[in-house]
Amino acid sequence: MIKVRMQPNEITDFFRKLEQDSRLNVWHLAILIAVAVLALNQGRYRRIKVSRSKMMAKSHINTVPTYHKYFKDLQDMGYISYRPSYHPGVRSELDLLKQP
């Protein structure tokens, strides 16, 4: 059974893991915080509905190239799994992979 709901202590543990990863910089952390906020708002860490505009607004990243660079880094580092939607009426989804 896949656990979908994220508990408050799990998000705290997740942030502790981020703190220990020296590969992460401020831009990575800004995106992961935006993902965590969306995850908490949606009550899940699997199949989090995302859009680039919301992610950029929540992470305070103002340029698309910067956003894409660090978002791709997070995928390569194994923090997130991203499933784009190419349909304008359907939001893309991502999963947080490094849970506590």
Q: DSSP states of 15-64 as a string?
A: HHHHHH-TT--HHHHHHHHHHHHHHHHHT-SSSEEE-HHHHHHHHT---H
Q: Which of 10-14, 46-50, 60-64, 83-87 shows the lowest mean pLDDT across its residues?
A: 10-14
Residue 2: pLDDT band with limits 50, 70, 90:
very low
- The pTM score is 0.84
Report the pLDDT value the prediction gives residue 1, as an integer from 0 to 100: 35
What is residue 49's predicted lDDT score, i.e. its pLDDT? Answer: 94
Q: How confident is the model at residue 56 (pLDDT cuts 50, 70, 90)?
A: very high
Q: What is the mean pLDDT of residues 3-16?
A: 70
Would you give the DSSP letter of residue 95?
E
User: Closest by alpha carbon to 78, among 23, 27, 37, 11?
Assistant: 23
